[in-house]
Amino acid sequence: MIIRAKAPVRISLAGGGTDVSPYIEEKGGIVINVTINKYAYVTLVPRDDKKVKIKSLDYKNGFEMEIGDETVYDGNLDLVKAAIKVLNIKHGFELLLHSDAAPGTGLGSSSTMVTAVIGTFDRWLHLGLNHYELAELAYKIEREEAGIKGGKQDQFATVFGGINYIEFHADRTVVNQLRIRPEVLDELEYRLILCDTKRSRVSANVIAEQVKGYTDGNKDVVRALDATRELAIRMREAFVMGKIDKIGQLLNEGWQLKKKFSSKITDPEIDNIYELGRSNGAIGGKLLGAGGGGYILFLCERDKEGMMEEKLRDHITPFSFESRGLHTWKVDE
């Protein structure tokens, strides 16, 4: 028996940064995101012994261990180790990991991978996890057990899939799947351009500075986070009403707010790419993820797509929306 999982990465459109503790517990966060056709893949093959073999095709590395061995976090596929520990796996198995999106690109790929790993365990061991339980478990494994700082939206985005308006509260998370007219989605997808800055970043460093600014009561950071939360509410209205140009304007507004979260969000090189897009037909855009590198998302004016693609051709990554979230299947040998 072979079990596979496929989970999509996400693009954060509004509210990113308000899904990070302690803002969630004190004020409640709101985000809007959409999953796209870039995926994390996991293949699990059960074994008859207690041996565990993990291999990553992307990093060309892996590790082996025995069930019951002490968990050592040393930077080598620590999220998989954390999942094995938290789920208290008792049987041997082999895992093969592969992702279309590298970590540090702002697409939530690390969270997507750990979620896909949990998905294979859920299918194999008949754990019966629902969407909310699986996303919460992924958050616990990544943020609490493995100690990787970050927000909470990535895990819920990849599990549910599609375009989601997600509310984060101290005691619960509520995922509202937005029902947008098909023609609005088609036009939005056509006018969105994803640009690779060709630089990865360690999101935990950016998040740590943001959290410190908030907990220290830095007025600029607090106000920017509060305004970002309100912007997500306005973005939802623009989606429902089909106001695509307004979505672009809100993306730009959100980017200006995001730069106040931390001094590590942007730099002259990132600003130059953003201004290049803005001067060649982009209504607005934003750097995805925590900041410091990764992808920039632009929404361009009607009939300006060709101009932007010409000016940014060395940076553009084609994509389309993905309506399905995490899913698993079994292959009988």
Least confident among 154-158, 210-214, 242-246: 210-214
Spatial contact of 83 and 130, defined as CB atoms under 8 Å apart = no
CATH architecture of 2-179+322-331: 2-Layer Sandwich (3.30)
Give the Cα separation of 63 and 68 in Å (integer): 15
pLDDT in tens, 269-319: 899 999 999 999 999 999 998 777 889 999 999 887 778 878 788 888 999
Token code pair at residue 310: 């010409």
Q: How far is CA 178 from CA 68, 135, 175, 194, 267, in A?
A: 44, 19, 9, 22, 34
Domain boundaries, the chain: 2-179+322-331, 182-311
Write down the mean pLDDT value for the chain: 93
Mean pLDDT throughout 36-55? 97
In the residue annotation, 171 being an active-site residue is answered as no
CATH class of the domain comprising 182-311: alpha beta
- Please choose, from the candidates 56, 55, 148, the residue with its C-alpha nearest in 3D space to the C-alpha of residue 99: 56
- Please choose, from the candidates 165, 188, 187, the residue with its C-alpha nearest in 3D space to the C-alpha of residue 175: 165
CA dihedral of 66, 68, 73, 78, whole degrees rounded to 10: 60
- From the list 74, 154, 196, 314, the catalytic residue is 154
Crossing angle for the helix pair 219-241 and 203-215, to the nearest 10 degrees: 110
pLDDT in tens, 60-87: 899 999 999 999 999 999 999 999 999 9
Sign of the torsion formed by the C-alpha atoms of 136, 137, 139 and 145: positive
Give the Cα separation of 200 and 105 in Å (integer): 5
**Long-range Cβ contacts of 64-72 (<8 Å, 24+ apart):** 67/91, 67/92
Give the Cα separation of 195 and 312 in Å (integer): 7
Mean pLDDT throughout 217-241? 96
